[in-house]
Each structure stands twice: as structure tokens, then as C-alpha cells.
Structure 1
């Protein structure tokens, strides 16, 4: 009896210390669907047989809804994974929107997704993910749209969930979906004067998500950042973003190193497709494996059995990464 009790305690300790596995895959966020050898190799190692693929954006201009950056497909984009269509919609699209316009928008989005699926013979999952940074002022109409899209498309409708929408849920409301994707990045604006990493500051994230375990929707998957960018600051203190820059890009004879991730330009010229003057500074922001590990560890105490979707599948970001945390 004593031996059995000791064995039970031992098994309990092993179970408690066992590392939780998180099935993972990627977002694909390019207008041209084209995948190279490295990206395909990384994708084929994923443990979630899906690829969350942006199909187009939607904005409103002069009172009219406009699809922007609709995908085109290259012959190299031939995958075994099912594709989850993702549509980004600007928050202003839902400002002063009428009920008949909500129906029109839902129908138009569903039809365009189906058109691209058919045109490019895409193997899609029965899900549409909507990405929108909705606010207290647009929440009611946005939520009506989500319900209408579900009715029109016949698909499972899911949506992204930003940090402020968790923290301020009393104001921004709870979307009428069964599953959300928690966006664990963009913890601040990269265009502000701050020493914090705007892509991911772990302490800021923990502050926003301290009560995520109380969120009414319990099916939560987690989106984590693996991207980087450069923040250019001119002599007036104004900032500009250049996507996909890394510390290696700062190795240039015309750059003076200020720190491991920041340089000052010594000579006027074109750099990374932009003309920059002497004295301009470029600071790289990226996300370390240590930061990602800390976020996952924090979320494991708050959310049960979540999948991870890394943003995004790009050879510049996936090379040398370890995704099995």
C-alpha cells in the first residue's frame, strides 16, 4: 500500500512537471501567394495542418467598401495544409454603417473568398477568420457583421483579439464567436519615443492579460510574433518603419554602430529602398526566443491547451528559429 502511494505521488510529480505541447503553424501575410524551399520545409514540420492566409483587406473610402491587396497565386504555392482564409477589416469600415450595408459587406466578403478559392483551387478549412481592431464605438455593428457573415457563409467565423480588447472587455464587448485568436504582439506603437520593444514587451503584455483566465470565450489560440523591423528616426525626431530588417542589415561601412541594435547613418544615400540623410538613426526591433518562452509560460497558467500561430511564414523570419517550445 505504501509502495502504491509513493508510486502515485511520483507519477503526479512527473505529470505536473511535464512540458505542455502546443500544436503550431503560421500566418501567411503576403499579397502574392508564393512559397520558397525554406518556407515549405519549415511549414511541413508544423504540428497543426493549417495555414492562416490573408486573402485581402477591406477599407471604406468616400462611403464605399473597398477590397485591398486581393491575393494572387504563384504556381509554387502548392500545399498539403488546409488554408484558413483571413480578412483584415479596418475599424473605420464599421463607423456609421447601416444594417443593409452590414449584410452587403458580409455577402461581398463571402463571395470574394469563394471566388479566390475556386480560381486558385485552394483547399480551405470551413473557417473564416476576421481581423479587426474594433473599439467601443464600433463593437455593436462589428458583432452584427460577424453574425451575418456566419449566416451567409455557413462557415465557422472566428476573430482576432487584441490586448486592449481583453483588458477593456467591459467597453469593447465580447464578440459573438466560439473561438478567438489572442494577438500577443504590438504592445505599443513603434512610432512613439520609448525604450520599450513595441513588438513585444513582456511586462506590458502580462499587465494587459492578467485576467485573461476570466475571459468568457474559452477557446483561445495564441498568435506570437517572430517578425522584426527597423525604426528610422530623422533629425526632427520623426519616425518611419521599414519592415523585415534585422541586426545583420545594419552591417554597412556607412553606418556607425550605437548599440547592438541601433546605428547612425554617416553618409547620405539610398538604404533599404529609402533615401536617408547623414545623422538618421535606425533601430532594429525583434523578438527573442527567451521572450517567447516567457510569454508561453505565462499563458500556460491562464489558458488551457492552446495552439500557436506564428506571425509570419517568411524565410527571413523562420530561418534558425526553434518553434518547439
Structure 2
């Protein structure tokens, strides 16, 4: 009888553990990367249909002026109401080429500007601030100093500080933040006509993933939805066409469409699951606009988010 009770207890325990694993649901998030905040009906429907809980909103860029002083640029205009029940995460993109100005002053100015924008636009419930920067070993020292100051300011206000992590940065020193967002895109050379999958190609991604399991920072992952139209002339790169009037298209020019395929996104997601499954506890898509969200079916998005 005792053995029977022990067996029953073990079965119930395994069932309970299995139930917890099955019921774990990834937080569903998406970036908003435009200079005017306005959601159309399709974008709002996407957020509702897929139970998106977090919206990473680019507030402004910080770029160097002519004297290499940091200046805010391309600040977002809020022309619409925020979606109800969706947490907003302010994101600031920093071009890390400053030669002048105190590091602490830069961090203080960025932090104050974020708080002012939240107050001006009545954006409540902020729990996290994110810094986006394509830093390298040569710019790491100043950037990390700024992050330390930003982290102190965030913690004083009981906020989490996150930072984007490019794939090439996985082998570098870990930035002084609370968590990282691994950008699973921009993996190839888009300036080469022969490179057909520069946004996401697993053959380019795999070499970087060796560093993923031992990367000493809590991570989540952002996966791409966006499309590039790349202009080539005589086989040479001219530029990315964000609009039809960005560049004159001459006879003989090539406009190449570059976009990630669903198979590539799912392959990247499975690779992360196999190496560091907790990184997919929050799945973030980049980024929200009508063209991007119409690329795949609702069922496809459920598979990406699941």
C-alpha cells in the first residue's frame, strides 16, 4: 500500500510540474519605430488579437551636432491614444560618437527628457527604459560609463534599465544594465547585391550563437518583420529606399527587396530555444506597422509568439 501511495504521489508531482511548463506563456511584445505615434485599425487589431502586452516605443535619438555635442533628434510626436492594457517601454537610440560633454550629463539629460515626455503625454505605469546603441570595443568605455549612470538613475526611480545587444556584441564585455534584448536581425551585408538575406540568415547567425549560453546577462530576443528596398546601380550599392522619392531610379538600376522569411524567423527561435530557452520568455517583434504585420497570417504570428 505504501508503494502505491508513493507511486501516486510521484505521478501527481510530475503532472503538476508538467502543467507548469505547459502553461508558461511568453510575454508578447513589439517595437514601435516611427516618428509619429498613430495606430490604424489594423495595428490595434493586431495588438488585441495577439495579446501583445508590451510596446517598445522609440522616443528620440541622441546624435552628435557639428561640435560633437549630444543632441536629441527625431523626437516622436504622440498623435493618438495609447492602447489600453499595453505597457510602454521608452527606447532611446544613441549614436555613440560624442567627443564632448560629461558622460553623467548626457545620461541625466536623456533620463530627464524621458520623464518629461511621460509627464507631458500622460504616459503612466513605466517600469523599464531601454537604450539602443551599436557600440564597439572602441566606443565601449564611454558608452558603459553612461549606462552605469543611467542604471543608477533608473534604480533611484525603481525602473529597470535594458539595452539592445547586437549579435556581434555577444562576444564582448557585458554592458552594465539589468537585462538585454538580443537583436536577431541585420546579420548580413545589405550593400552587396549577391547577399539575398541580409536581415536574417541562419548561416550568418550560427557562429555568434556559441556565446549565447554563457552570456552573463538576462536576455530576451527581438525578431524581424521589416522589409528593405535596396537600390543598386551597376551592381553597386546606392542606398535603402524608405520611400519612392528617396533616390532617382535610373534605367538599368536594380531595386532588391530584402525581407526575412517565416522559416528563418522560426529557425532562429528554435535555435534560441535549444541554447537558452529562457531568452524566449519574452518574444519581441520589430516592428509594428501595417505593411510588416500583413506579411504573415495570424496563425504564423501565433507560432512566432507561442
- Aligned residue for 2:126? 125
Please state if 1:324 is matched with 2:294.
no
CA deviation string 1:288-322 (max 9, x = no partner) = 11111111111001113331110001011112442
Higher helix share: 2
Query: 2:301 aligns to what SS in structure 1?
Result: coil
- Aligned residue for 1:228? 227
* Cα RMSD, aligned residues only: 2.9
- Aligned residue for 1:57? 61
Give how far 1:22 is off: 2.8
Q: Which blocks of at least 5 consecutive residues in structure 1 are unaligned?
A: 245-270
Find the aligned partners of 2:199 and 2:293 in 1 and give their Cα distance.
17
Whether contact under 8 Å (2:192, 2:237) holds in the other structure is: no
- Aligned residue for 2:149? 148
- Aligned residue for 2:112? 111
Query: 1:151 aligns to what SS in structure 2?
Result: helix
Query: 2:241 aligns to what SS in structure 1?
Result: strand
Counterpart of 1:277 (choices 237, 240, 250) is: 250
Counterpart of 1:91 (choices 96, 99, 107) is: 96
- Aligned residue for 2:29? 25
Pick closer, same or farther for the CA change 1:6–1:150 going to 2, 3 Å.
closer
Matches within 5 A, 1:1-325: 21-61=25-65, 62-93=67-98, 96=99, 101-153=102-154, 154=157, 155-166=159-170, 168-169=171-172, 173-217=173-217, 219-235=218-234, 237-243=236-242, 271=244, 274-305=247-278, 306-319=281-294, 320-321=296-297, 322-325=300-303
Give how far 1:212 is off: 0.3
Whether contact under 8 Å (1:181, 1:222) holds in the other structure is: yes
Find the aligned partners of 2:106 and 2:134 in 1 and give their Cα distance.
17
TM-score of the two chains, using structure 1 as the length reference: 0.80
Whether contact under 8 Å (1:23, 1:46) holds in the other structure is: no
Whether contact under 8 Å (1:228, 1:243) holds in the other structure is: no
Find the aligned partners of 2:104 and 2:26 in 1 and give their Cα distance.
37
TM-score of the two chains, using structure 2 as the length reference: 0.85
Query: 1:52 aligns to what SS in structure 2?
Result: strand
Find the aligned partners of 1:209 and 1:28 in 2 and give their Cα distance.
26
Find the aligned partners of 1:19 and 1:286 in 2 and give their Cα distance.
33
Query: 1:224 aligns to what SS in structure 2?
Result: strand
- Range that drifts further, 152-161 or 222-231: 152-161
